[in-house]
Structures are given as C-alpha cells and as structure tokens.
Amino acid sequence: MTSELPLPIQTAWLIPLYGFAGMLVSLPWACGAFRRDAHRPAAYLNILLTLVAFAHGSLILQQVIQFGPADLSFPWLNVADLELNISFSLSLTNLVALELITGLSLLSQVYSLGYMDKEWALARFFALLGFFEGAMSGVVLSDSLFQSYFLLEMLTLSTYLLVGFWYAQPLVVTAARDAFLTKRVGDVLLLMGVVALCAYSGVMGFNDLYAWAAQDSLSPLAATLLSLGLIAGPTGKCAQFPMHLWLDEAMEGPNPASILRNSVVVTCGAIVLLKVMPILQLSPIAIGVMLVIGSISAIGGSLVALAQVDIKRTLSYSTTAQLGLVFIAIALQIPVLALLLLFTHAVSKALLSMSIGGVIASTNCQDITELGGLGSRMPATTTAFLVGGAGLVGFLPLGGFLALAQSIELLSVRSVPYMAIFLLTNALTALGLVRVFRHVFMGSSLIKSRRAAEVNWQMALPMVALSVIVLITPLMLLRLESLEGLLAFPLWAAALVVSSGLVGLVVGALLPLSKAWSRSLNPLLRWWQDLLAYDFYTERFYRLTIVNVVASFSRLAYWFDRKVVDGLLNGVARFSLSSADSLKLSVSGQSQSYVLTVLVAIVLFLTSVSWFLT
C-alpha cells in the first residue's frame, strides 16, 4: 500500500528530521571547529533546512487535499507484549499545523538573523531552534501517544536549553531551571497517564486508543486519574494555570524563541490535547477540570497581563488567556473551534511577539513605562503590532473575529456562561493590547525611546510578511474545505464580538496611564495591583508549598541518613569488632577483622538456619 503513495507522502518521515538535521549540521560551528570564521553558515543551513521542511510540507498538503489523508507507520521497538511504532498521521489538520510550525519557524529564523546579529553563539542558538522545530513537527504529525510524549519531552528539553541560552545571566539560571521543572511536573503526570494507558490498553496508536476507549472497560476512578494525567501534560505545555509559570520565566530567553513559544509551542500542547480528547470523554470529572483550568487561565491570564509592565510578559500572559479559550473549546468538544482559535492565535501572537522584539531591539528596554512615541518612527514594528493585535481580538474581518464569532455561535447553543468568558477575555485582551500600544507607540518619547530607528531588514522583512499573512488569514481559512461554514454565524454573534472588542478598546483608550510605575495609593487597588503584577503570587505559592515540602523531605532524608542509618551502622561496627575505635583501624588490622567478621557471621547464620528448620 505504501508503494502506491506519492513520493512526498512516502518520505513524510523526513519532516521532523530536517529540524534535527539542522541541529546536527550546526554542531561543528557550535563546538568551535571554525576558529577564524563567524558562525553564520550554521544559521543559513538551518534556514535552508526549514525552507525544505516547509516546501515538503506544502507538497504533502497539496496531495492530501487532492487524494485524502494518509498514514505512515514504521516499527520501532518490540519487546514482550509492548509494540511501539513510529507513526505519522498526514491529515489535513495535522498538515496545516505543520505548515504553521515550519512557516513560523522559518520567519522567526530569518528574524533571528537580525535580532541576534551581534550574537557570537549563533550556531548554538540555531542548533537549538532546529531541535525545537524538529520536535514540534514530530508532535503535530504524530499518530501515537508514545511518540507524542517522546517529542513533547524533547520540547521541554529544548525549551530549557533555549531559555538557558544566555546561561551567564543570573536570572536565566533560575528561569531555565524553573521553566524545566514546571514543565517536567506536567510531563511526569503525562508519563503516568501514558504508561497507564499503554499498560491497560496495550496499544499506543491514537486510533487504537480511541477504539479501546469506546469499549469503556475502566472503572470511573481509573478513567478519571488517567484523564487527569493526560490533561496535565498539555496543561503544562499550554501554560495553563497552575502550570503557566514557565512561560513567564521563559521570557528571559532570546526573543526569536519567545515568538515560537508564544505561538506554536503552546499550539503543540493543545494539539496533543485534541488528539487525546476522545479518551478524555471517559471521565466527566476530567472534562470539568479542563473547563475550570481553561476559564481560570482565560480570565486570570488576561487580568495578570493587564498589570504587567514588562512588554514580553504582557504578551505571555495573554497567551495563557487565549489558550484557556482553546481548553474550553476542547473540553466542550468543539475541535473545529479549537483549531480555528489556535491558528488565528498562533499567527497573530507570533506577529505581536516579533513587533515587541523590534521595540526591544531598538530601545534596549522591556519596561513599557519607560517607552513611548515609537509609533511614528517604526513603520514595520508599529504595523506589525496593530495588525497582530487586530488579528488577535475580534477585529472585523480578520481571523480572530471569524474564530470568535464562530465560537459565540457554537457556544450559545451549548453554554452561555462560557460564551461570556470568551467575550470577557476578548474585551480584556483588547484592553491589554491598547494599554501596551499607548504606552509604547503613542505619547511623547521618553529617554530610552528618544533615539530609536526602525529595526534592520532581517527583522522587518518577516514582520511585513507575517503582517500580510495575518491580513489574508480569513482567505486562507475559507480555502480550507474542512472548515467550511466559517461564515455561517448570525449577525448578533458578530455584533457581540465586535462590541466586546470595542468595549476593551474604548476602556483601554480612556484609562489613565501612569508612566511612573508606582503602586496605587488606594490600599484596595494596590492589593489588586500587586496581586496581578505578581501573578497571583503563584511563584511564592509554589515556593511555600511544593518546593518547601520537597526541600524539607530531602533535608529529613539526609539527616536520617547521617544520624540514624550511619549512626546505627557505626554502632554495629563498633559492637561487632568490640572496639570503639574500630573504624579507624590500620590497614593491616582490617584484613584480620574482615576474616573474623566473615567467620563469626557464617557461624551465626548457620546456627540460625538450623534453628529455623528444626
């Protein structure tokens, strides 16, 4: 059957390998094999490989649109009753996600050439980007839960290494560690779910799992625990409460990587969640948990974003919020909606991230209260922010609007409260973006933005390109047949979306801005301000709870080790050698005591054995 498939589809397994190959070809430069030359060839090679991955993906996409989806599977490990395959599902959805990933990866790599143009360790950076891209491509194409887990963990590793890229910077040291550990908590819980599913069902392919889940042979408790485990991984990857901390920490890393993290990494997590969705249906509790997580993330994330002064963090919390909406859509079992939201969010958020990268590059500043007046000077950056923002909130007629209008329509027949959450999140997102825009691009220029020219062309070009893509997203969505009926929403839904955006816009425009980032004098307001600025004190909460518990137990274990176990051992040693100084015997004396111990022990043991047996 495989031989009948067209060549691009047959070789689809190459796609994740392009990224990994990019890492490998960068190694000579990263390891310092070329002492006299700059490390740029590694960057060019990675860009080339990503381009190949993108082109290959487009070929497959075309053929899949023409001939329908295909599956590829190769045996990997067969031990006892365990059968693990490398398998790819070349469905339309997966391929669109793949193109999104490789396309955004390509743009952000070109962007990196500009943003990181004064970076010496360029080869290592691009090697990590290649690794990152390879893992993400593999995740979206994966047709097996094991493979998805495998690659998600690689994603965790590459996030750690990318956040830790500037390893000499003090805050990076802790940020990389915390980012890894927060994600790792989700991963370990996911591993528990994967292992349990594997053990109880004996299969790992998604379709086999669906078939198994449909038989519904698990106890409700087991099903709930299993589902919670499966949710935990994507919760971590999508930066949802309470595992959203890593995205904030990850903002210490280089901005081009943040572009990908804010857009496609979270998308990968959500796509894995979509793939396990039929299994989650076994447990109503798990569905409920997802709804709660999604709602808290959507509202909480939007609110926290409002109180941030760091330009990167205003965006990262809004990512948490938008992915919260996706969680709700998945929990309510509207996959089309989840995909729509993911796609429009990914392109718009990537564009916004590029734009703020431009701001940082030309002002050396991430504090929005220290910026201002950039709007009239930076055409590409400003346009990118405006277009990205418009694409994200329900601005007529861009992607975000279509996705939200569709959501409102679909939610209105299922659950009105969640419809309200969508509208509220949209309003808060609009408010937050207007706030940032006013701070950064409008007003008079402050000292750090007094002299700020537009960014270099390697950064401007991807921004312009992606701006165009965001603008034509509605057309692209309309072309995808699987999403037909995109415009079949009633007028009132459109009106609700637009008015929620307008409310945010107007409030944001009217709200007084305080340039001196000071805490409010009103104690109640100040309490709220601090609560949100410090992200509901999540970090402190973790430090007081989990970190504290682990640290106490580890101290306890070590104390027990030295005092009780070692103490006992030393005591026994003293007793058996009947010398208080036994442990400091001379080397010659030791062999004698050794023989003695051996003899005594054998006699003792044989006596006890005979006593037992008679």
Least distance from another protein to the Cβ atom of residue 109, Å: 15
Nearer Cβ to another protein, position 544 or 556?
556
Q: What token pair was written down for 544?
A: 């007081």
Distance, CA of 407 to CA of 494 (rounded, Å):
10
Least distance from another protein to the Cβ atom of residue 359, Å: 11
Helix intervals (H) in 238-331: 245-250, 255-260, 266-280, 284-307, 311-331
Nearer Cβ to another protein, position 250 or 274?
250
Least distance from another protein to the Cβ atom of residue 383, Å: 9
Nearer Cβ to another protein, position 479 or 555?
555
Query: 379 with 454: CB under 8 angstroms?
Result: yes
- ω before 220 within 30° of 0 (cis)? no
> At a CB cut-off of 8 Å and minimum separation 6, what does 206 contact?
89, 143, 144, 145, 275, 276
Distance, CA of 605 to CA of 614 (rounded, Å):
14
Nearer Cβ to another protein, position 34 or 537?
34
- The SS3 call for residue 471 is helix
Quick one: which H or E segment has residue 89? strand 82-90
Nearer Cβ to another protein, position 218 or 498?
218
Query: 300 with 537: CB under 8 angstroms?
Result: no
Least distance from another protein to the Cβ atom of residue 35, Å: 8
Least distance from another protein to the Cβ atom of residue 195, Å: 5
Residue 538 identity: T
Least distance from another protein to the Cβ atom of residue 545, Å: 15
Distance, CA of 416 to CA of 365 (rounded, Å):
42
From residue 45, alpha-carbon distances to 20, 25, 29, 101 in Å are: 12, 8, 11, 18
> At a CB cut-off of 8 Å and minimum separation 6, what does 290 contact?
231, 280, 327, 328, 330, 331
Nearer Cβ to another protein, position 195 or 487?
195
Buried b / exposed e over 425-458, threshold 16 CB at 10 Å, is bbbbbbbbbbbbbbbbbbbebbeebeebebbeeb
Beta bridge partners of 83: 78
Least distance from another protein to the Cβ atom of residue 309, Å: 5
Nearer Cβ to another protein, position 413 or 611?
611
Query: 131 with 23: CB under 8 angstroms?
Result: yes
From residue 359, alpha-carbon distances to 374, 443, 554, 576 in Å are: 8, 15, 45, 74
- Torsion angles phi and psi, residue 5, rounded to 5: -70, 145
Nearer Cβ to another protein, position 500 or 538?
538
Nearer Cβ to another protein, position 430 or 533?
533
Helices and strands, number each (H, E), in the chain: 25, 2
Nearer Cβ to another protein, position 156 or 283?
156
Nearer Cβ to another protein, position 164 or 400?
164
Distance, CA of 525 to CA of 61 (rounded, Å):
52
Least distance from another protein to the Cβ atom of residue 460, Å: 8
Nearer Cβ to another protein, position 63 or 381?
381
Least distance from another protein to the Cβ atom of residue 543, Å: 14
Measured on CA atoms in the order 538, 540, 545, 547, is the torsion positive or negative? positive
Residue 263 identity: S
Nearer Cβ to another protein, position 364 or 520?
364
Residue that is written with structure tokens 């609560």 in the block: 531
Helix intervals (H) in 368-490: 379-392, 399-412, 416-441, 457-479
Least distance from another protein to the Cβ atom of residue 438, Å: 16
Least distance from another protein to the Cβ atom of residue 315, Å: 13
Least distance from another protein to the Cβ atom of residue 157, Å: 5
- ω before 417 within 30° of 0 (cis)? no
DSSP state of 373: -
